[in-house]
Amino acid sequence: MASTSERKTAAPGRLLGFIVLLVLSIVMLMPALFMISTSFKSNAELLLFPPTLIPKDIRFDNYTTIFEKMELLLYYKNSLLVSGFIVIGTLLSSSYIAFGFVRYRAPGRNALFMILVATLMIPYPATMIPQFVLFKNLGWVDSYLPLIVPAFFGSAYMIFLLRQFFSNLTDELFEAARIDGCSEFRSFWNIALPLCGPALATVAIFSFLWSWDDLLGPVIYLNSNDKYTLPIALAGLSSKFRVVPWNTLMVAAIYTVLPCIALFSFCQKYFVEGISLTGTKS
Amino acid sequence: MITKTRLAMTTLALALVLGGCSSSPSSNGEASGTENGKNGVQEISVYTTNSPDRLWVKKLSSEFEKTHKNIKVKIIEVPFDNFDSKLQTMLASNTPPDITTHIGWAGFSEYMSKDQLLDLSPYMDSFNAAELGIPEELMKIFQVNGKQYAIPLQAFVSLMLYNKDLFDKAGIPYPPSSYDDATWTWDKMLEDAKKLTVVSNDITKVQYGLSWAWSGGGREQDPQYFGHDVFPADTFTSNKGLAAENFFGNPDVTNDLQKLADLVLKDKVAPPAEFSVGGSDAFLAGKIAMAVDGAWRLSGVNDAGFRMGVAAIPMGGNSKVRDVLWTDGYWIFKGSKHPEAAFEWIKFMAQKENQEQMIELSGGSPSASQLALDKYANFFKGVDPTEIKNVVNGGIQYGAEGYAHLMPGSGEMHTLIDNELNPVFNGSKKASQVTPELQQKLNTMLEKNRKRDSK
């Protein structure tokens, strides 16, 4: 138990820390607050200078009229479909490949892993055209396949992340399983994966966010408006040739970030549970 | 057994994904159209942006299909900022669209220099530009060695928008819209701008006299306004837009750039870059009295909370060039399977009634046809139609086409020039300290472009 004098010296420090954190939080939240504020503004109020933080004329109808201005639900459905499959594909493939890198000892394994990690350094535009030619020859242009299928072949970053996590699991665990007649796949599925809740949650969050926000991939491969994802629709609201309708754009942006917030909240719970499950880690 | 079942289930799930997401044969939208369908229907693709100002492409294409039953139009829309990257990918993979225009930094000459455009001369017998009201000056922009490679459908001039309320408040006469008014000069504009500028510590009272984006933000063309060319004259006549050298180091060009930077730094009549209004438009917010920019700025007129006028660009020292033209010529890429059908589409869009609809559907983008000028001039609430007509006609007469449309590699050049000149415009360096090195770097880039072209 801390003495009264200790508490007295700790209090100013804590208070200062609290104030610093509070100020930083406000600074970090400002863009989000401005986004929410702008989403409620009228067209006329968008032009006011200096800009208002609390709208004078709150326009709730901005949140409903957007559905008349653009096919938001269609783009939502498309984005969910693409991101959903990318998350499933990334989780399945990357975890299995990472497990293989940890559990199997084979000549050239480390070199192969280094090559895999090196691919992270290749920027997407460098591979964009050869990939486009490949998928065009497969007849996949204007479909979701070029966006989804690569996820089922693993993501270098996610493999790297999961490999680090799998390597913390003790060999004894798998040896005991093998003695009990457990196959390698079952060891992976029933033992390794449940122990990697936090890592899988992280992979799910990352792959969802990256695919949800991805603009260039869908722009390159999709040609039909009815297949477009949310980022393409949002980008279409701004043009050099028009005054940007910031209120509409901010409403669309808020609708767009909702699934990200929901997923993060959902995975955060598993994240905590996952940590408690990993008590057997060495 | 369990493992095998799981493997089978995974395979099945993957197969469902692949099957469910695959493209239908007709939706591929790849360039060069599709082969004749069973009913002899030809599909052509039009590549454009998905921004509201290009809504006309979609709407008028539906009208086109009604009158051309044997032609189906596939619209490929992309965001404005991704226009060039997707088009380059499609071209590199040999699947260009049938029809497009220049919207990003890569312009007409970019594709012309790579021999990617179809010569439209064989189809020109059925196209009478004069009858459709398209000025000869605009048609000529897309002629190379006597052959026509694109048809202008939209033509943006640069112009001056001014806030009548601020002029009235300061007791200053409005600037003229006629290009024949010899009293309207750079010096007069600067004098007015000084009177219209309000310096204050109270940010709500700050007001600037002028914002200057004469060449749409491309500083490489700005010296042309003052009568000093950055590139040799033959660049745009016999040299396919490939400049042999540049004159950024020339003292006159250097002085011109410094003069523009001084609008912010010395004269203090123009807003600094950081002066933004919550991401919106400072002119439309009523904080700038005169704004020189492309005609697309007119699109915001109907939202402005003040009376607005349109004026000519003042005389700056170049008797032939006073404004920049951004003419959107529509071309057909080589390899199109249905060039006749594609040309029919272009011809359809050039008709007077469709040019008028284009103005309406685009929210005020100017047509290339003079026959639709009345419609354009009357489109903007509260702006005198005569002023708009004067500015458009004068703009075409005294206009020089934007360099971005005429020079291959203009995007790369623009980035270099912008980066090098930024210290001049933010006041950390004088133009004379920057331009000799810029000239050298740009010459190296130009030489590389010429070598690439000769291959």
Tell me what pLDDT residue B449 has: 85
In this predicted structure, the answer to whether residue A2 has a pLDDT above a threshold of 60 is no
Structurally, chain A folds into a number of domains equal to 2
- Which residues of chain A have a CB within 8 Å of the CB of B363? 242
Q: Kindly state whether B51 is in contact with chain A, defined as any CB-CB distance less than 8 angstroms.
A: yes
The residue among A45 and B394 whose pLDDT is bigger is: B394
Q: Both A224 and A266 in a single domain?
A: yes
Q: Both B71 and B191 in a single domain?
A: no
Domain boundary (B368, B384, B401) is at: B401
Query: Across the interface, do B79 and A136 touch by the CB < 8 Å criterion?
Result: no
Domain boundary (B401, B416, B441) is at: B401
Query: Across the interface, do A141 and B28 touch by the CB < 8 Å criterion?
Result: yes
- Which residues of chain A have a CB within 8 Å of the CB of B284? 47, 243
- Which residues of chain B have a CB within 8 Å of the CB of A189? 6
Q: Both B292 and B304 in a single domain?
A: yes
Q: Both B341 and B211 in a single domain?
A: no
Whether residue A53 is contained in a domain is answered as: no
Two tokens at A186?
């079952």
**In Å, how far are A11, A267, B212, B266, B427 from B272, measured between CA atoms?**
45, 45, 11, 11, 10
Do residues B222 and B323 lie in contact, with contact meaning Cβ atoms separated by under 8 Å?
A: no
Q: Both B45 and B117 in a single domain?
A: yes
In this predicted structure, the answer to whether residue B442 has a pLDDT above a threshold of 50 is yes
Distance from CA of A62 to the nearest CA of B (A): 17
Q: Both B339 and B229 in a single domain?
A: no
In this predicted structure, the answer to whether residue B2 has a pLDDT above a threshold of 50 is no
Considering CB atoms only, which of A139, A144, A241 is closest to B296? A241
Tell me what pLDDT residue B17 has: 47
Digit-coded pLDDT (tens) for B6-41: 544 444 444 444 444 444 444 444 444 455 555 689
Whether residue B15 is contained in a domain is answered as: no
- Which residues of chain A have a CB within 8 Å of the CB of B203? 49-50
Distance from CA of A174 to the nearest CA of B (A): 17
Range B438-446 average pLDDT? 96
Q: Both B60 and B152 in a single domain?
A: yes
Q: What is the CATH number of the domain that holds A219?
A: 1.10.3720.10
Q: Both A204 and A274 in a single domain?
A: yes
Q: Both A94 and A221 in a single domain?
A: yes
Q: Both A192 and A271 in a single domain?
A: yes
Q: Kindly state whether B365 is in contact with chain A, defined as any CB-CB distance less than 8 angstroms.
A: yes
Distance from CA of A10 to the nearest CA of B (A): 42
Q: Both A194 and A270 in a single domain?
A: yes
Structurally, chain B folds into a number of domains equal to 2
pLDDT category of residue B325 using cuts at 50, 70 and 90: very high
Query: Across the interface, do A225 and B277 touch by the CB < 8 Å criterion?
Result: no
Whether residue B145 is contained in a domain is answered as: yes
Considering CB atoms only, which of B7, B23, B365 is closest to A140? B23
Query: Across the interface, do A219 and B78 touch by the CB < 8 Å criterion?
Result: yes
Q: Both B294 and B343 in a single domain?
A: no
Dist. CA A147–CA A227, nearest whole Å: 12
In this predicted structure, the answer to whether residue B206 has a pLDDT above a threshold of 50 is yes
A201-205, A242-246, B122-126, range with greatest mean pLDDT: B122-126
Whether residue B245 is contained in a domain is answered as: yes
Quote the radius of gyration of chain B (alpha carbons, Å). 24
Whether residue B14 is contained in a domain is answered as: no
- Which residues of chain B have a CB within 8 Å of the CB of A240? 80, 296
Q: Both B240 and B270 in a single domain?
A: yes
Query: Across the interface, do B279 and A141 touch by the CB < 8 Å criterion?
Result: no
Residue from B280, B302, B362 to probe the interface with A (highest A Cβ count within 10 Å): B280
Stretch 331-360 of chain B: residues touching chain A, C-beta under 8 Å: none
In this predicted structure, the answer to whether residue B430 has a pLDDT above a threshold of 80 is yes
Q: What is the CATH number of the domain that holds B199?
A: 3.40.190.10
Q: Both B119 and B144 in a single domain?
A: yes
B234-238, B240-244, B353-357, range with greatest mean pLDDT: B353-357
Q: Kindly state whether B1 is in contact with chain A, defined as any CB-CB distance less than 8 angstroms.
A: no
Tell me what pLDDT residue B18 has: 45
Lateral strand order in the sheet of B208-212? B208-212, B288-294, B158-163, B308-311
Amino acid letter, residue B75: I
Q: Both B377 and B290 in a single domain?
A: no
Domain that holds residue B80: 30-156+326-401
Range B232-246 average pLDDT? 85
ipTM of predicted assembly, 2 dp = 0.80
Query: Across the interface, do B365 and A241 touch by the CB < 8 Å criterion?
Result: yes
Q: Both A106 and A189 in a single domain?
A: yes
Query: Across the interface, do A140 and B2 touch by the CB < 8 Å criterion?
Result: no
Range A228-243 average pLDDT? 86
Q: Kindly state whether B23 is in contact with chain A, defined as any CB-CB distance less than 8 angstroms.
A: yes
Whether residue B19 is contained in a domain is answered as: no
Q: Kindly state whether B80 is in contact with chain A, defined as any CB-CB distance less than 8 angstroms.
A: yes
- Which residues of chain B have a CB within 8 Å of the CB of A244? 279-280
Digit-coded pLDDT (tens) for A185-212: 999 999 889 888 888 888 998 899 999 9
Whether residue A151 is contained in a domain is answered as: yes
| Cβ-based neighbours of A237, under 8 Å, separated by 6 or more | A70, A244, A245, A248, A249, A252, B51, B52
Whether residue A208 is contained in a domain is answered as: yes
Residue from A43, A131, A223 to probe the interface with B (highest B Cβ count within 10 Å): A223
Domain that holds residue A165: 70-280
Distance from CA of A8 to the nearest CA of B (A): 44
Digit-coded pLDDT (tens) for A69-104: 889 999 999 999 999 999 999 999 999 999 999 988
Whether residue A65 is contained in a domain is answered as: no
Whether residue B409 is contained in a domain is answered as: yes
Whether residue B61 is contained in a domain is answered as: yes
Distance from CA of B2 to the nearest CA of A (A): 9
Q: Both A29 and A116 in a single domain?
A: no
Domain boundary (B401, B416, B443) is at: B401
Whether residue A46 is contained in a domain is answered as: no
Dist. CA B183–CA B314, nearest whole Å: 9
Tell me what pLDDT residue A265 has: 84
Q: Both A74 and A35 in a single domain?
A: no
Q: Both B203 and B283 in a single domain?
A: yes
Quote the radius of gyration of chain A (alpha carbons, Å). 24
The residue among B239 and B92 whose pLDDT is bigger is: B92
Whether residue A50 is contained in a domain is answered as: no
Tell me what pLDDT residue B27 has: 43
Range B419-430 average pLDDT? 94
Phi/psi for B373 (5° steps) reads -65, -35
Q: Both B230 and B252 in a single domain?
A: yes
Whether residue B10 is contained in a domain is answered as: no
For A221, the closest chain B residue by CA position comes to B86
Q: Kindly state whether B276 is in contact with chain A, defined as any CB-CB distance less than 8 angstroms.
A: no
Q: Kindly state whether B288 is in contact with chain A, defined as any CB-CB distance less than 8 angstroms.
A: no
Q: Both A77 and A215 in a single domain?
A: yes
Digit-coded pLDDT (tens) for A28-39: 999 999 999 999
Range A22-48 average pLDDT? 90
Whether residue A57 is contained in a domain is answered as: no
The least confident of A239-243, B156-160, B169-173 is A239-243
Tell me what pLDDT residue A4 has: 58
- Which residues of chain B have a CB within 8 Å of the CB of A225? 50, 75, 77
